[in-house]
């Protein structure tokens, strides 16, 4: 009898565990959400923490910012009014660079046999290739839905999601990404980037199949961005061919361009960024109405000296170029034989040279980045130590790199720390309602320790509790 009770108890625990591992349900099945017309009694980033404010909202945008009406708050709750409970209200967050199809591979039971043994780039490429051979719609949707859901709960209202297109997965990742984009369109703006992670001009067929598939993907409805990783090509000549081809696809199809560039640290290897900028300028990018150009990784630039940064600023000129550093991936993947590590110095790039720069999560739970979460603020917090950024001013820059600056880097409308009239009503409310003296009172406190209790608002609608 005791054994029977033990077996039943084990079965029940297994059932509960399995239920906890299930993918989150569709938002529309859980949360009814109407538009807000006011968020009352909140602290604001650029106001004294001792004062409270009311944010009025019309058509998903900020219509007014007024001192808190305490008399109104004593009345019964009114429809469309959210009680801010003295919490800090800040602009929502953004994933400027995240891979939707490769997330959680180390945690998903389907891929549990694929575990890290070396921790280097080649192993990550090989492991991901083995995983991609097993990709099917059900696991792509399950893992992608989990990533988006967790991101929204952390305060994300917009993301650029990379989905790979190649001979192995063909359009599986793209199809899943487009379905998720549609499913979450009311809660999160998802830019789908059709991405060539594999070479466009190297390999057994010279990249012909990937080019053919990418051409078709670029024309698919719902594809917002095209991108590639020139550094995977066999030599510099083919890297330049990669940039020429993918930039042509972006320009001719009037889509933004996202290049994963110069993903190495060796000083004796020359960066491709100079040639890439020359190629893009040679296409008369600005004159022909070319869209935003986003350059991710660029770890080789950490070797730049003062004259290199000045030259880079000059070479960019009026091109709409933004840089996205990916600290967790860069620090895990990129190391020289002398154990030198590096990631883009985004704070210095912004403060000293005036570049448009952001930081992002990149990967979650795979061989490229096994550590970390879907929380963009975890990257900003890492930046405090990484860039020795402890002052209030620099903490606010770090917040912007995962918020307004991140949105600008992927050409999205953003909400500033000033929360100005007319800006999108895209916010994060920090803390629980009963946090007490440990509540977040400033952006610096959020960057130092954001916690996990948050409430997300997108275009005046609550999207996560």
pLDDT tens sequence across 76-99? 567 789 999 899 999 999 999 999
CATH of domain 93-409: 3.20.20.140
User: What pLDDT, on a 0 to 100 scale, did the predictor assign at position 70?
Assistant: 81
Please state which of the ranges 29-38, 196-205, 430-439 shows the lowest mean pLDDT.
29-38
Higher pLDDT pick, 374 / 30: 374
Residue range 161-179: mean pLDDT, rounded: 97
User: What pLDDT, on a 0 to 100 scale, did the predictor assign at position 33?
Assistant: 57
Over 90: is that where the pLDDT of 338 sits? no
Render pLDDT for 284-337 as a digit per residue (tens, 0 to 9): 999 999 999 999 999 999 999 999 999 999 999 999 999 999 999 999 887 777
Enumerate the domain spans of the chain.
29-92+416-464, 93-409
User: What pLDDT, on a 0 to 100 scale, did the predictor assign at position 73?
Assistant: 60
Residue range 25-40: mean pLDDT, rounded: 63
Over 80: is that where the pLDDT of 392 sits? yes
d(CA 389, CA 162): 29
User: What pLDDT, on a 0 to 100 scale, did the predictor assign at position 335?
Assistant: 75
The average confidence (pLDDT) of the chain is 90
pLDDT-based confidence at residue 373 (cuts at 50, 70, 90): very high
Does this chain's domain 29-92+416-464 share its CATH topology with 93-409? no
d(CA 352, CA 365): 34
Over 70: is that where the pLDDT of 248 sits? yes
Domain 29-92+416-464 has CATH 2.30.40.10: yes
User: What pLDDT, on a 0 to 100 scale, did the predictor assign at position 258?
Assistant: 98
**Would the pTM count as exceeding 0.85?**
yes
Higher pLDDT pick, 49 / 448: 448
d(CA 361, CA 344): 13
pLDDT-based confidence at residue 341 (cuts at 50, 70, 90): confident
User: What pLDDT, on a 0 to 100 scale, did the predictor assign at position 17?
Assistant: 32
């Amino acid at each position: 009898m005791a054994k029977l009770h033990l077996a039943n108890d084990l079965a029940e625990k297994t059932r509960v565990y399995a239920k906890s591992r299930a993918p989150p349900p569709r938002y529309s099945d859980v949360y009814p959400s109407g538009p807000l017309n006011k968020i009352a009694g909140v602290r604001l980033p650029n106001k004294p923490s001792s004062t409270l404010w009311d944010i009025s909202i019309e058509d998903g945008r900020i219509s007014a910012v007024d001192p808190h009406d305490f008399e109104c708050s004593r009345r019964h709750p009114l429809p469309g009014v959210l009680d801010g409970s003295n919490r800090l209200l800040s602009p929502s967050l953004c994933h400027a660079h995240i891979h939707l199809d490769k997330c959680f591979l180390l945690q998903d039971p389907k891929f549990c046999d694929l575990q890290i043994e070396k921790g280097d780039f080649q192993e990550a490429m090989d492991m991901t290739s083995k995983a991609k051979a097993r990709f099917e719609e059900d696991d792509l949707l399950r893992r992608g839905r989990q990533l988006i859901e967790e991101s929204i709960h952390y305060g994300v209202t917009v993301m650029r999601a990379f989905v790979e297109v190649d001979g192995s997965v063909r359009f599986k990742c793209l199809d899943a990404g487009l379905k998720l984009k549609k499913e979450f369109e009311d809660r999160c703006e998802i830019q789908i980037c059709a991405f060539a992670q594999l070479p466009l001009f190297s390999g057994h067929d010279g990249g012909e199949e990937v080019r053919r598939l990418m051409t078709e993907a670029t024309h698919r409805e719902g594809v917002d961005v095209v991108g590639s990783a020139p550094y995977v090509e066999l030599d510099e000549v083919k890297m330049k061919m990669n940039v020429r081809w993918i930039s042509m696809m972006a320009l001719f199809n009037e889509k933004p361009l996202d290049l994963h560039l110069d993903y190495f640290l060796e000083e004796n290897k020359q960066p491709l960024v100079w040639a890439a900028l020359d190629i893009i300028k040679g296409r008369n990018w600005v004159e022909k109405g070319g869209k935003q150009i986003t350059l991710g990784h660029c770890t080789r630039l950490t070797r730049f000296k003062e004259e290199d940064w000045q030259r880079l600023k000059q070479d960019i000129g009026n091109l709409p170029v933004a840089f996205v550093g990916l600290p967790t991936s860069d620090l895990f993947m990129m190391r020289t034989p002398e154990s030198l590590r590096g990631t883009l110095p985004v704070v210095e790039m912004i403060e000293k040279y005036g570049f448009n720069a952001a930081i992002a999560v990149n990967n979650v739970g795979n061989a490229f980045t096994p550590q970390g979460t879907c929380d963009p603020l975890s990257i900003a917090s890492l930046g405090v130590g990484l860039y020795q950024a402890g002052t209030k001013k620099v903490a606010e820059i770090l917040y912007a790199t995962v918020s307004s600056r991140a949105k600008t880097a992927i050409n999205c409308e953003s909400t500033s720390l000033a929360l100005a009239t007319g800006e999108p009503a895209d916010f994060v409310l920090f803390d629980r309602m009963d946090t007490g003296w440990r509540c977040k009172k400033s952006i610096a406190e959020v960057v130092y320790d954001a916690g996990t209790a948050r409430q997300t608002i997108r275009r005046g609608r609550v999207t996560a509790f």
